Amino acid sequence: MFKVSEEHEMLRDLVKKFVRNELLPLEKNILERFASGQPAALDDEENARLHKQCKELGLWALDVPEEAGGANLPAVALVGVNEELGYAAVPFTFPPDSPNLHMLLATANPEQRKKYLEPYAAGETTSAIAISEPGAGGDPAGMKTRAVKQGNDWVINGRKIWISRIAKADFTIVMAVTDVEKGSRGGITAFLVDKGTPGLVVARAIPMLAGQRTYEVVFEDCRVPDTQVLGRIGQGFAPMQLRLTVRRLQMGSWCIGMTQR
């Protein structure tokens, strides 16, 4: 039987107060942006203020392992925390957004940890992940984006859809097929692609429910060095699934919180 400790109940109460005092007052602005056709999102100033408060209150990196500077909360405690967060109609997650961080922790080499994981865990950078594709969704068996080795580089070509945050992300984890015959059984590799890399094109914004925005992204001979392979070649599927599991736990909890309004 799962049991939440007294300490974790106190944390949930703290999150509840944060949501009522800091997020609920922002709902009016969010809804007005939505009504006017703008993205229903926090602006940079609002995000910066909330992030500062999270650090001051000890609400930073709650589900991140201690090795990366987090609180390492168990899943049963995180469900309660995210239920409280879902109560507000404000698109906000406790920083840093942890699914990509978990994938980096599982796969990044020492150099990648220093360049990508550490700044991300500290809230100095932002990230996205590009998985879903037209005609395949998130099913890796239908993935068409290819990465081909050319010398010491990989050249990525393909199209991704419904990608969150990529318009402003400092780097993106891109999933691509490196062995067509193996596919999802040893043929998918993760790559780290920096913002501004030639061949990475944010093609269009896609309006979603509640005024959110995702994006369609095109890779046109997008060349990255071999050092940008995240994890082992052909072994990107398992860490990708780990990352998705973290997000699904969050999403389910947020939805429970929404039903309490």
What's residue 77's pLDDT? 92
- CATH topology for the 127-235 domain: Butyryl-CoA Dehydrogenase, subunit A; domain 2 (2.40.110)
Tokens 């957004």 sit on residue: 97
What's residue 210's pLDDT? 63
What's residue 108's pLDDT? 97
Distance, in Å, from the CA atom of 32 to the CA atom of 40, rounded to the nearest integer, reads: 8
* Measured distance between the N- and C-terminal CA atoms of the chain, rounded to whole angstroms: 28
User: 122: which 2 tokens?
Assistant: 């500290």
Q: How confident is the model at residue 135 (pLDDT cuts 50, 70, 90)?
A: confident
- Cβ atoms within 10 Å, residue 4: 14
Q: Do 200 and 163 touch, CB atoms closer than 8 A?
A: no
Strand extents, DSSP E, the chain: 127-130, 146-150, 153-163, 171-177, 188-194, 200-207, 213-225, 229-230
Tokens 């318009």 sit on residue: 167
Question: Which residues on adjacent β-strands are paired with residue 222?
Answer: 156
Tell me if domain 6-95 and domain 127-235 are identical in fold: no
b/e sequence 180-191, b meaning 16+ C-beta within 10 Å: eeeebebbbbbb
Q: Show me where the domains of the chain are located.
A: 6-95, 127-235
Q: What is the pLDDT of residues 48-82, one digit of tens each?
A: 999 999 999 999 999 888 877 788 899 899 999 99
Burial category of 162 from C-beta neighbours within 10 Å (exposed 0-12, middle 13-18, buried 19 and up):
middle
Q: Do 193 and 199 touch, CB atoms closer than 8 A?
A: no
What's residue 2's pLDDT? 67
What's residue 36's pLDDT? 84
Is the pLDDT at 107 greater than 90? The verdict is: yes
Is the pLDDT at 228 greater than 70? The verdict is: yes
b/e sequence 246-257, b meaning 16+ C-beta within 10 Å: bbebbeebbebb
Q: Between 139 and 109, where is the model more confident?
A: 109
Dihedral (CA of 125, 172, 242, 256) sign: positive
Is the pLDDT at 176 greater than 90? The verdict is: yes
Domain 6-95 has CATH 1.10.540.10: yes
For all residues of the chain together, what is the average pLDDT? 92
Listed in sequence order, the residues at least 6 apart from 96 whose beta carbon sits closer than 8 Å to its beta carbon are 60, 61, 64, 120, 121, 122, 123
Q: Do 41 and 98 touch, CB atoms closer than 8 A?
A: no
Query: In percent, how much of the chain has pLDDT > 90?
Result: 73
